[in-house]
Amino acid sequence: MTPVKCKAPRRWARGDVLAEAGAGSVAAAAVARTAGFAVAVAAVMAVMATRGVVAAEAPVSGSANTVNAASAGICTPSEWPRWQQFKRDFLSADGRVIDVGSADSRTVSEGQSYALFFALVANDRPAFDTILQWTEQHLAQGDLTAHLPAWLWGRADDGQWQVLDANASSDADLWIAYALLEAGRAWRERSYTARGAVLARRVLDEETATVPGLGLTLLPGPAGFHPAPDVWRVNPSYSPPQVIRGIATRLPDDARWTRLLASTAHVLTDAAPHGFAPDWALYRAKQGFAPDPQTQAESAYNAIRVYLWAGMLDPRDPLAPALLAHFAPFAGFIAAHGAPPEKVDTTSGSAGANMGNAGFSAAAVPLLDARGEHALADAQIARAEQLNRATPSGYYSSVLSLFALGWRDGRYRFAADGTLDPQWSSPCRVAVQ
C-alpha cells in the first residue's frame, strides 16, 4: 500500500502572523514572557498593526466575523475514528489525558501536548481548547506564557490531586508551542500564535545549553540534566526535527532555532553509532557521546519515537536522507524478524529477546514507507491490529499509533519547512477567501 499523499498546502498571501510581524515579534515575545498572556496578545497585535495586517486576517476567537460563518459548513471536525477512540479511552471531559492504569492516575505534559496536536489534525477545536485550558490551569499555574508546564500531575500519597513534579519536559513544551503556532495559522487565531511564540522562546531560554562541540542543544528540562561541568544528559527522542524546523519557520527572527536544529542532527545520529537510537545519552565536552549509565545505553520506549519522527520528515527536509540511511539497521531488524525489537543495547546493536508492542509496530510504519519498504510497513500495520484485538493498547501505544497511522492515512504531513499541513486545511482556507 502506497501512502496517501496530501494536497500541497495553500499558503496565505501574507504568511504567518509572527513572520509578518517581522523583527518586532522578538520584542513582543520578550515583553510577553515576563508580563503574562494578556500582554502577549497585546504586544503581538501591536506589532501586526504596525505592518498593516488587518484584523479580519487573524480574528480573535469569539469576535463577530464572517470567517467562522463562511467556513462553518465544511470546516467541521474531521471524522478520525482513532482520535475518537483515544478521547473515549484516555481524555477526561475537562481535557486531561489520563495514563489509565498507572498507580497515581497520572497525567504527563507530553500527553497533553500530543493531544493538542491530534485535536488540530482532526480539526477538533472544542477538544483543543479544553485540553489547552486544563494544561494551562493545572500544569502552568494558569499562564503558559509565564511558566513552563510541570511534567507530572496526579494523585499524591495523601490522596490530593496536584503537580507531582514541577520540573518541565522540553519535548512536551516544544510540541505545545508548535501546536499553538500551527493552530494559530490554521484557525486564524492570534491568541494561539501569541501563546505559542512566548512558550517557544521560554524553551530556548530555559531548556537549552550551549554545549562545547555541539552548540545550542536541547536539554530534557530546566533542571537536572547538567550533572557535571563538562557533562550533559540528553534524550534524542525529545527533538523532533520537523517540530524544531517548523517553529524556526514560524519565528524566523530568532536565529537560535536554526542553531538548535544543527545540534539536533548530531544528537540523533552521533548518539546512535550502530543505527539504534538510545533512550538517553551523555555528552562529554571534548569526548562526545557516551552511554548513559542510568539506562545502560538501552533503546526502548523513548527511542522508538526517533524512528517515528525520522520517517515522517518531508523527503525534501535536509535531514531526511541521512536519518533514513542511519537508521537502516532498525528497518533491517524488522525485515529479518517481522517486528521491531522492544529493547536494544545501543553499544553493540544487540537486541533483546522480546519484540515491541503494537505501538512499536505502528511507529515503524513511516520509516519503512519513507525507505520504500511498503509491504513491510503493511505487515507492521497488520501486526499492530492483531495485537490490539488481543489486548487493547494503553495510552502510550495509542499515541504512537495515532501519530504513525494518522500520517500513513494522509491526515497530515509535515512540509519541508517543518510546518503542518492537515488534510482538512486546504478546502477550509479556500472557503474563507
Catalytic residue among 171, 189, 298, 314: 171
What b/e string do you get for 344-375 counting C-beta neighbours within 10 Å, with b at 16 or more?
Answer: bbbeebebeeebbbbbbbbbbbbbbbbbebee
Q: Is residue 20 within 8 Å of residue 49, measured between CB atoms?
A: no
Q: How far is it, in rounded angstroms, from Cα 414 to Cα 373? A: 20
Catalytic residue among 16, 110, 254, 292: 110
Other Cβ atoms within 10 Å of 224 Cβ, number: 10
Residue 124 a catalytic site member: no
CA 319 to chain centre: 17
Long-range contacts, stretch 72-76, CB < 8 angstroms, 24+ apart: 73/431, 74/427, 74/428, 74/431, 75/123, 75/424, 75/427, 75/428, 75/431, 76/123
Q: Which candidate, 133, 129, 130, places its Cα nearest to that of 144?
A: 133
Long-range contacts, stretch 223-226, CB < 8 angstroms, 24+ apart: 223/167, 224/167
Unique residue bearing C-alpha cell 548518539: 271
Residue 173 a catalytic site member: no
Catalytic residues, which ones? 110, 171
